[in-house]
Amino acid sequence: MGARVKHQYVPLDLPACLNVFLDRWNPKAVIVLETEIWPNILSMCKERGIFTALVNARLSEKSKDKYNIVKPLAAEALANLDLLIAQYDSDADRFKEINTV
């Protein structure tokens, strides 16, 4: 992979910052880890046809309850993912519960 794979921290989840970031780096894929669910970047990547993945994803029961407070926003963000790989089946089940609007 070497020169074909670059690591870059993403700026704040604000459209103006993300536009500059996405224009500058022009990524083919955005891979986020564990609990990083940022609605704007996921939406903007989908609009630009950039593959997105949440890997090693985890979601506790307590966090799921918090996401349920803003379920439509969380569900929309999760729907923008191309791939979600959870740590455990229980995490996957909790993500499925949120992603059902």
Tokens 């803003």, located at residue: 70
Fold of 2-98: Rossmann fold (3.40.50)
Per-residue pLDDT for 2 more than 80?
no
Q: Which two tokens stand for residue 33?
A: 């880890």
CA atoms within 13 A on the CB side of 70: 11
pLDDT digit string, tens, across residues 19-53: 999 999 999 999 999 988 899 999 999 999 999 99
Distance of CA 48 to the CA centre of its chain: 15
Domain ranges in the chain are: 2-98
Q: How many residues does the chain have?
A: 101
Per-residue pLDDT for 59 more than 70?
yes
